[in-house]
């Protein structure tokens, strides 16, 4: 495992990379013995650095929960990161393309919690009981670390590649629909690029939230009431470029849009 000085240096490097927009070299190339626990230690310190700058945690994201995303990244286990309040945008938002490194868009469902969740032993039924509503969302991925050759260790350290999320559509109570069959069609500039069903996320996106609560328990942490949880993408990430418009049609759950300028 890495010593505390090295973990601090990496966290500070990533804080600076978010400002400079210059991705840093692969961590695993520079620290071959770096572990998953090291990467969560980096992420935790990075989070603390940002909180010290005045940012407030609004929720968590879960990544790499579907076969589509695992195949796209070559990483076979889920991960998680934090969502700050300034990362949550409304549908129709206009985003500065140059503010992101290697931006890509994913289709997800987000869970708004009305009561806390804490593992171990958290189940899908606990998640459904603790959820106020589920709402369509897009995640815009960002990269503070070089893309080529990334491992789970690099991704976790990079706050699970979280950029921002765009929320819209029609919120629903978790018992109003079978969440597995919530689907979406993802368009870029009027052309359809990806389709998927939320059941691709661990058979039910609520399972991803249960996984997160149990994973956080190992770090003596949990999910608070009021948090917004991105449950994981059920499509492959779609690359976006300057001038692109993004449109996600969730059928009965409405649409989410954003544009990059």
Read off the pLDDT band of 71 (50, 70, 90). confident
Average pLDDT for residues 66-91, to the nearest whole number? Answer: 84
51 CB-near residues (< 8 Å, 6+ apart):
57
pLDDT of residue 72: 67
Tokens of 63: 């990544």
Residue 73 has pLDDT above 70, yes or no: no
Phi, psi of 194 (to 5 degrees): -145, 150
Query: How far apart, in whole angstroms, are the C-alpha atoms of residue 66 and residue 64?
Result: 6
Report pTM: 0.94
Taking alpha carbons only, the member of 100, 215, 204, 112 closest to residue 161 is 100
Instruction: Pick the range with the lowest mean pLDDT from 13-27, 73-87, 221-235.
Output: 73-87
pLDDT of residue 181: 98
Total Cβ atoms within 10 A of residue 244:
18
pLDDT of residue 252: 97
**Number of residues in the chain:** 261
Residue 250 has pLDDT above 80, yes or no: yes
pLDDT of residue 18: 87
Average pLDDT for residues 80-93, to the nearest whole number? Answer: 97
pLDDT of residue 199: 95
User: Looking at per-residue confidence, does 160 or 68 come out higher?
Assistant: 160
Tokens 């009021």 map to which residue? 226
Q: What is the number of helices (H) and of strands (E) in the chain?
A: 7, 13
How confident is the model over 105-140, as pLDDT tens digits?
999 999 999 999 999 999 999 999 999 999 999 999
Average pLDDT for residues 215-238, to the nearest whole number? Answer: 94
């Amino acid at each position: 495992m890495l010593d505390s000085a090295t973990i601090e240096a990496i966290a500070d490097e990533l804080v600076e990379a978010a400002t400079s927009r210059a991705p840093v070299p692969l961590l695993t190339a520079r620290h071959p013995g770096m572990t998953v626990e090291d990467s969560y230690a980096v992420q935790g310190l990075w989070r603390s650095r940002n909180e010290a700058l005045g940012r407030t945690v609004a929720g968590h994201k879960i990544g790499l929960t579907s076969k589509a995303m695992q195949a796209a990244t070559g990483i076979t286990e889920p991960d998680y990161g934090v969502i700050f309040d300034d990362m949550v945008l409304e549908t129709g938002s206009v985003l500065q393309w140059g503010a992101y490194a290697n931006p890509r868009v994913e289709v997800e469902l987000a869970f708004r919690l009305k009561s806390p969740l804490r593992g171990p032993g958290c189940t899908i039924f606990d998640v459904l009981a603790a959820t106020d509503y589920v709402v369509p969302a897009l995640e815009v991925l960002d990269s503070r670390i070089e893309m080529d050759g990334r491992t789970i260790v690099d991704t976790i350290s990079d706050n699970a590649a979280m950029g921002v999320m765009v929320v819209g559509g029609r919120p629903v109570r978790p018992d109003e629909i079978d969440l597995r069959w919530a689907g979406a069609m993802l368009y870029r500039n009027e052309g359809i690029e990806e389709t998927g069903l939320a059941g691709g996320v661990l058979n039910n996106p609520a399972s991803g939230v249960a996984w997160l609560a149990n994973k956080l328990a190992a770090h003596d942490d949990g999910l608070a009431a009021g948090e917004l949880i991105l449950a994981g993408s059920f499509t492959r990430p779609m690359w976006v470029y300057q001038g692109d418009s993004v449109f996600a049609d969730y059928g009965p759950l409405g649409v989410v849009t954003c544009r990059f300028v």
